[in-house]
């Protein structure tokens, strides 16, 4: 009887601590600068910046630990926005982190998938559907193109394909003018 009560108390304590920890770790509000930075980052969650996701990188920038040019998916646009926000000079993307690429999504060649679930474990945004020993599929609309699922696949059937341009995503280009109509 007593041991049961003790065990329950112990459990309550463990859960309480864990909940407390996760509420700090995953707090929604909090450091407003980090929030503003996180709002600018592309949320690809690829880790190329050297941090395990966009939020930790945002916190590192806010604390002055990381520079503003470490996010390849964000590229020039994000660097510019961060520079504006923080009142700093924009600088070119750190080439050691990778290069800016056109948007891609993961594609699984389903005929060869062995259903090992390793890619599901790797996906930071739960964009892969599948169950053990079943074939797996990427929900293209939710895939951020982080490439984290490509490496773990033991049969190499995941490839990154460019996002197809269709009419609803087509953009008017900046007009090309022969003599540049420079001021």
Partner 1 sequence: MRLWSFHGGIEVPGHKEISTTRPVEPAPLPKRLILPLSQHLGAPAEPLVAEGEEVLKGQMIASPAGFVSAPLHASSSGKVVAIGEHPVPHPSGLSAPCITIETDGEERWVEREQRDFRQLEPAEIRETVRQAGIVGLGGAGFPAFIKLNPGRTIKTLILNGAECEPYITSDDMLMRERPEQILRGLLIIRRAVQARRCIIAVEDNKPEAERSLRQALGSMKEDADDIEIVTIPARYPAGGEKQLIRVVTGQEVPSGGLPVQVGVVCHNVSTAVAVYRAVELGEPLISRYVTITGGAVAEPRNLEVLIGTPVEELLQLCGTDPGAVQEVIMGGPMMGISLASLGVPLVKTGNCLLAVGRGEIEHPEVMPCIRCGNCAEACPMSLLPQQMYWHARAKDFDRLREYDLFDCIECGCCAYVCPSNIPLVHYYRFAKSEIRARQEQKRKADIARERHELREQRLAREKAERAARHARKRPGPSDESKKAAIQAALERARAGKQGAAQDDV
Residues forming the site for partner 1 (CB under 8 A): 7, 10-11, 14-15, 18-19, 21-22, 25-26, 38, 41-45, 53-55, 124-127, 142, 144, 165-167, 169-175, 177-179, 181-183
Which partner, partner 1, ligand SF4, none, binds residue 64 by CB below 5 to 8 Å per kind? none
Residue among 106, 120, 111 nearest 44 (CA) = 106
Q: What is the footprint of ligand SF4 within residues 79-118 (CB under 6 A)? A: 106
Cα 126 to Cα 146: distance, rounded to the nearest angstrom = 12
Cα 147 to Cα 105: distance, rounded to the nearest angstrom = 8
Cα 9 to Cα 141: distance, rounded to the nearest angstrom = 45
Chosen residue from 34, 37, 40, 44 binding ligand SF4 by CB under 6 A:
44
> Interface with ligand SF4 by CB under 6 A: which range of 21-29, 50-58, 86-94, 110-118?
50-58
Q: Do the Cβ atoms of 162 and 104 come closer than 8 Å?
A: yes
Q: Report which DSSP code applies to 77.
A: H
Q: Do the Cβ atoms of 123 and 108 come closer than 8 Å?
A: no
Cβ closest to ligand SF4, residue 34 vs residue 54: 54
Per DSSP, the three-state class of 162 is strand
Can residue 53 be called a binding residue for ligand SF4 (CB under 6 A)? yes
Binding site for ligand SF4 (CB under 6 A): 41-42, 44-49, 51, 53-54, 57, 71-74, 106, 122-123, 125, 127-128, 138, 143-149
């Amino acid at each position: 009887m007593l041991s049961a009560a003790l065990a329950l108390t112990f459990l309550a304590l463990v859960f309480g601590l864990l909940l407390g920890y996760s509420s700090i770790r995953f707090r929604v509000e909090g450091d407003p600068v980090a929030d503003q930075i996180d709002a600018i980052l592309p949320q690809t969650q690829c880790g190329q910046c050297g941090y395990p996701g966009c939020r930790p990188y945002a916190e590192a920038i806010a604390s002055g630990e990381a520079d503003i040019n470490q996010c390849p998916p964000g590229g020039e646009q994000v660097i510019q926005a961060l520079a504006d926000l923080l009142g700093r000079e924009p600088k070119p993307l750190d080439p050691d982190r990778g290069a800016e690429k056109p948007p891609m999504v993961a594609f699984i060649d389903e005929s060869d998938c062995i259903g090992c679930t390793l890619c599901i474990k790797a996906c930071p945004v739960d964009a892969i559907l599948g169950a053990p020993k079943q074939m797996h599929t990427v929900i293209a609309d939710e895939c951020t193109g982080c490439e984290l699922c490509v490496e773990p696949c033991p049969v190499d059937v995941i490839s990154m394909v460019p996002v197809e341009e269709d009419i609803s995503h087509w953009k008017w280009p900046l007009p090309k003018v022969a003599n540049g109509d420079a001021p």
